[in-house]
Chains A and B, each alone.
Chain A
Amino acid sequence: MARFEGTETYVATDDLRVAVNAAIALERPLLVKGEPGTGKTILAHEIAKALGKEIITWHIKSTTKAQQGLYEYDAVTRLRDSQLGDPKVGDIRNYIVRGKLWHAFTADTAPVLLIDEIDKADIEFPNDLLLELDRMEFYVYETRETVVAKQRPVVIITSNNEKELPDAFLRRCFFHYIRFPDRETMTRILAVHYPGLHKALVHEALNIFYDVRDVPGLKKKPSTSELLDWIKLLMVEDIAPETLRQRDPAKLIPPLHGALLKNEQDVHLFERLAFLHRRERGGA
């Protein structure tokens, strides 16, 4: 049986690894929650890569209906075809548009199916998918056939906690909450993404990064993905670790902060802090 052990580009913590393997072994969906930017969506892609499977992603929006994941009956095209006298019109099968779940069920080798941000959808959405995800089959009314999964796909579901998911749905899933990585894990993540990165730079950058995250009142705390972008910028700009180490109060705002702080209130907050800091210094 295939097991997931993390990949070259993705650091999987022990608990994540166990949860993923449990979901694969028991062919149950895995529900992943966590702070934005901790790699929920990436996880599904990495699992697919590690297991050598195809990935099918289904991005959920507020208007997405469960039915769209199964199939849709394109009545408008059929109506037009009938008026144009197209011979296709006799067979309703020509107007059944397959959804992501159908694709996942009928793929030759079991793919990884990512249902992204399930909490964006209507509150009834997960309930509507209960049976389909549990039994991995559904019925097409128009053609009176049942679509059954050839192999059960690996289903990864992500949620940002905007809505509560129904209990019946949760009972059928494994669950994993991705915590914000601690320093050790973060160092490993950086090593995976930028091999050969200067140790001193990593050290200083992480110091600043975790300091920034600790500033009270930040609207949007920088996350892993922002850190990765920032480090990349630091490398491109060829900023030396010494520059980062300078704790010059006048330069309290970290260099290239645009990658870390994503809204102007947060930048203002930092400027204000820097100003206060300077004044304290001046007074003392």
Chain B
Amino acid sequence: MFIGFLLELREAKLPVSLKEFLTLMEAMRRNVAGYSVDDFYYLARAALVKDERNLDKFDRVFGHYFKGLETPGEARLEIPAEWLKALGEKLLTEEEKKLIEAMGGWEKLMETLKQRLAEQQGRHEGGKKWIGTAGTSPYGAYGYNPEGVRIGQDKNRNNRAVKVWDKREFRNLDDRVELGTRNIKLALRRLRQFAREGAELELDLDDTIRATARNAGWLDLKLVPERHNAVKVLLLLDIGGSMDGHIRTCAELFSAARGEFKHLEYFYFHNCPYEGLWPDAMRRHVERVPTPEILRTYDQSYKLIFVGDASMSPYEIEQPGGSVEHWNDESGEIWMRRLLATYPKAVWLNPVPERYWSGTLSIAMISELMEGRMFPLTLDGLDRAMRRLTR
């Protein structure tokens, strides 16, 4: 029962285990949810989702998988024509645009849309109809608009508001959104957890007394990990590009967590690190620290964190003299390899959303140099990166 649902959840990267799924089945058998679809949704959510960050993902999969469980509601047509047009222009090929022209332009299309909606009794899936889900049509549920613009099904016959799982109330908790002020606190908490690693041992007085008493007076020393941290971080930030805002966020983030690190050192570069790095972003043409000096100064116990969009011309990585700002005798790749050889623990944080990475050659190249240790600059990415660093 519902095996497809489980598979679809896992497809959507929800960490659902077999045990949890069996729990759900068991609860169904005991009739916890009764026969109401809403209750089943609540039950499935309580059994399968264990983290509020995943609630939104769950809602989407649930909405997709169980679509059609409820009676389709009355169609509602309040899609702004402007938006449809803009979206269509973005998604449609020239051929399709011509087809639309042939159909009589956008006004005609809206008319057709209305007609189709009126004719539509059941639900559609797949196929090339204009409206439905999972078809080739850009209209219908789960389109490109982040609000999930939908046609129909906004109200069901019970006249209740939008179906609970379609409301997607937990969207803000989804940790794949980029870092902003909203979730900066959480991000800080992640960094703090990271900073607590690798501490020395110190004497645990209470436990020693207890253990000694238990030994009837024989001294028994107990040690616990020291509460403060020993993590050293070398932060290399890419500046002077379109990502400056993100970079600043990231720099602020790390400096806010500064007290938690034993050492935190910053340097700046543009696009790709070469033979020199800048200690101050504002005075980059005045002050420069040779990269070999940095390699000598900070030993390999430092963890290296790059922050940058890694979007540049491939020449800037591969070729001597490829830098856009100066003549570099050795290629960026060589300098990257040197940095990575010195600091085995390294990650690259990229503010560019992960789904665009494959589209840029230089991102793939840097990612390869990093041996896949490139993470998006989101809470989730930060989390993965920190976990990777402490591994």
Residues of A that sit less than 8 Å from B by CB: 14-15, 17-19, 21-23, 25-26, 28, 30-31, 33, 73, 75-76, 79, 162-164, 167, 170-177, 179
Contacts and interface: CB of A to CB of B under 8 A. Distances in A.
Contacts of B27: 22, 25-26
Contact of A26 (B30, B39, B170): B30
B30 A25 contact: yes
Contact of A18 (B30, B32, B210): B32
Contacts of B45: 15, 19
B46 A22 contact: yes
Contacts of A22: 27, 32-33, 43, 46-47
Interface string B23-42: 10011001011000011001
Given A22-B33, A30-B46, 8 more contacts: A21-B32, A22-B32, A26-B30, A31-B50, A163-B193, A170-B50, A170-B51, A177-B52
B20 interface: yes
29 contacts: A14-B38, A14-B39, A17-B42, A18-B32, A18-B33, A18-B39, A19-B43, A21-B32, A22-B32, A23-B46, A25-B30, A26-B23, A26-B26, A26-B32, A30-B46, A31-B50, A75-B214, A76-B213, A79-B213, A79-B216, A167-B15, A170-B50, A171-B19, A172-B19, A175-B49, A176-B46, A177-B52, A177-B55, A177-B170
Contacts, number: 72
Most A CB contacts (10 A, CB to CB) among B20, B32, B45, B52 go to: B32
B299 interface: no
B129 interface: no
Given A28-B23, A175-B49, A75 B42 contact: no
A152 B138 CA distance: 52
B169 interface: yes
A89 B189 CA distance: 48
Nearest to A173: B50
B189 A162 contact: yes
A263 B14 CA distance: 39
| 3 shortest interchain CB distances as A-B pairs | A18-B42, A19-B46, A170-B50
A97 to B, nearest CB: 13
Contacts of B210: 75-76
B20 A171 contact: yes
B136 interface: no
Interface in B48-68: 49-52, 55
B301 interface: no
Contacts of A177: 52, 55, 170
B17 interface: yes
Interface of B: 15, 17, 19-20, 23, 26-27, 30, 32-33, 38-39, 42-43, 45-47, 49-52, 55, 164, 169-170, 189, 193, 210, 213-214, 216-217
Contacts of A19: 42-43, 45-46
A23 B189 CA distance: 30
Contact of A171 (B50, B55, B164, B170): B50
A174 B46 contact: yes
A18 B164 CA distance: 14
Nearest to A123: B193
Nearest to B31: A25
Nearest to A19: B46
Contacts of B169: 179
A167 B20 CA distance: 11
Nearest to B164: A15
Contacts of A176: 46
A134 B47 CA distance: 15
Contact of B47 (A75, A79, A163, A174): A174
A254 to B, nearest CB: 25
B42 A15 contact: yes
The residue among B19, B169, B170, B213 with the most chain A CB atoms within 10 A of its own CB is B213
